[in-house]
Amino acid sequence: MRERILGALYGMALGDAMGMPSELWSRRKIREFFGGRITDFLDSPSENPAAIGLKRGEFTDDTAQALVIIDSLIENNYVPDRKVIAKNLIAWALKTDAFDKNILGQSSKAALRAIQDNMDPEIYTVKAVTNGAAMRIAPIGCLFPSAEKEKLAEYVFHISEVTHKTDVAIAGAAMIAAAVSSAIEDKSWEDIINNVFSIYPIAMKFGHETYSASLAARLELALSLADKYRGNEPGFTQSIYDLIGTTTMTSEAVPAAIAMAYFNREPKECSISCANLGGDTDTIGAMAVAICGAKYGVKNFDSYLIKTLNESNKIDFLPYAESLLQHRRKNH
């Protein structure tokens, strides 16, 4: 279990860092700028305003916010507290100049700014349909057995509501968490997908109603594309880009990420595939490769990838994994 939790954390960082240089660029622009295909960690191009100043192997706000969430839970004995999470997210944003450097997503920025100004952030959180809740949720899947879907969905809501409070944002985050929860138990890919579908209607009830496209219907289509294009990665990723979408909207990014994990399965291959997908490459990569990493286990990662992520981010994921594992064992 420890190896799989570490796999989820390193997978999240790997997909995030590999997709960082191409973040929010089209497939065409990625091909033209990088001379075909990204195949390794790269510095962020000065031409890409979404990822300015990051060096090869560095992860972005997706993984950084996920770690802030874990720190906030550790601080409060794993009881999600909106004020603690908000305080720590704001402290991280100020430390990294995230408000001014185009690092924060629109929904998170608006909600955290409101909290800073002693305003009620709900005017923003009940309209937040972007993927900010889902991008940072993967570690939460490590805390619950896959059978405890009601508890997981409610916990995801309390983690996410500081910035995202809509049905689609909560459900999307819960689907990613459910995939990780199932993967660290080494469930089959069929069971992982079934658990993702089954948490969807449960989690939808926690959020403010929107008229977003159905995540379940989008995912069903995305998985059918994965089966249709099995063995044809370019055909599959083009179909995801064209038919599912790869923007920052939860209704696109979450089905795309789960399908990318289902199609690629191996963490490094998935990270490279996501980096070249086009669109929100770092976020889709963080979500997808967290699932692959949880299923794969950290021992099966290429040691070069682990070494680069550790050195580039000056991070040690082991204490985080130990804390998540201890809480899981204590409560289950």
From the annotation, which residues make up the binding site for Mg(2+)?
A: 60-62, 280, 282-283
* Alpha-carbon torsion (128, 129, 132, 138), positive or negative: positive
The DSSP secondary-structure symbol of 143 reads G
Tokens encoding 271: 């990270």
The DSSP secondary-structure symbol of 51 reads S
Q: How far apart are CA 87 and CA 150, in angstroms?
A: 27
Radius of gyration of the chain (CA): 18
Binding residues: 60-62, 280, 282-283
Cβ-proximal residues to 7 (8 Å cutoff; 6+ apart), any chain: 184, 267, 293, 294, 295, 296, 297, 298, 300, 301
Q: How far apart are CA 165 and CA 169, in angstroms?
A: 7
Which one, of 190, 183, 219, lies nearest residue 296 by Cα? 183
One-letter amino acid of 190: E
DSSP-assigned letters across all residues of 292-330: HHHHH-GGGS-HHHHHHHHHHHT---HHHHHHHHHHHHH
